[in-house]
Amino acid sequence: MSFIKAFTDLYLPSQSDEFIEKINTIVKTKFYKKNDIIINLREVPSKFYILKEGIVRSFVIDSKGKEHIKTLYKSISLFAPLSSLITKKSSTFIFDCITDCEVLEGNFYDFITLTKSDLEFSNFYTKALENVYISSENKIHNLSVLNATERYLKLKKEIPQIENMIPLYHVASYLNITAVQLSRIRKKLYSKS
């Protein structure tokens, strides 16, 4: 329960005990192994997830069969195929585990039903959406303003061990550059020391 409190505190500190208790009743703990798929393509999703331990990635596969990583999630974060949950269409992203993971899984539509009658839940949802907005803004900023080296350094700051966890061609994909370009960037950065 204290983990749920730590999570809700990230968005809206000092929620009532009843609120924490209600969230506790709509989520359940699940364990996944490295490489397990949590949400697959063409599934119509219904769940949201709170990541307690491990690293999860979301990615798309383009028309040429190439994987592009969209987001990397580490503890404590909320992840979900939000656009599919909102539009009730099948997921265009795949979410899988880069490491063994522990998550709290909840039904999104049960949560939305609660937002319609409970102001505390409605406010919490609004705050979560505001946070999603801010991280999306940051993403657009990184992709449209920063160059590849700057994006690489930012990634290393957020997840220092990333190169030990996923192959370099995946890191390149996340940065939207080729493996060759990434190799050049790393060579330049690490030959200075």
Partner 1 sequence: MDFIEIFVNQIHPLSKEVLEEFKSIFTEKKYSKNEIILATGEIATMFYIVKEGIARSYIMDENGKDHTRSLFVPVSSTGSLESLITKKPSSSNYQCLSDCVLLEGDFFKFKELVKNHFELSLFYSKILENIFLIMLKRITELSTLNASEIYKNLKKEIPEIDNLIPQYQIASYLNITPVQLSRIRKELYSK
Question: How many residues line the site for partner 1 (CB under 8 A)?
Answer: 29
Read off the tokens for 166. Answer: 């996923």
Find the shortest distance in angstroms from Cβ 189 to partner 1: 20
Selected binder of partner 1 within 13, 16, 17, 145 (CB under 8 A): 145
CA dist list (Å): 175 to 81, 109, 119, 129, 150: 21, 33, 40, 25, 10
Tell the smallest beta-carbon distance from residue 55 to partner 1 (Å).
18
Among 86, 153, 168, 189, binds partner 1 (CB under 8 A): 86
Asked if 90 is part of the footprint of partner 1 (rule: CB under 8 A), the reply reads no
Distance between CA atoms of 186 and 35, rounded to whole angstroms? Answer: 26
Task: Extract long-range pairs of 156-159: CB within 8 Å, 24+ residues apart.
Answer: 158/72, 158/74, 159/55, 159/72, 159/74
Burial of 16 (0-12, 13-18, 19+ CB in 10 A): exposed
Q: Is the dihedral of CA 132, 138, 139, 140 positive or negative?
A: positive
**Residue 16 makes contact with partner 1 by CB under 8 A:** no
**Interface segment toward partner 1; rule CB under 8 A; list 17-25, 37-45, 49-57, 81-89:** 81-89
Looking only at residues 22 through 61 of this chain, which bind partner 1 when binding is defined by CB under 8 A? 60
Q: Is 113 in the site for partner 1 (CB under 8 A)?
A: no
| Residues making contact with partner 1 (CB under 8 A) | 60, 62, 68, 70, 82-83, 86-87, 115-116, 119, 122-123, 125-126, 129-130, 132-134, 136-137, 139-141, 143-145, 176
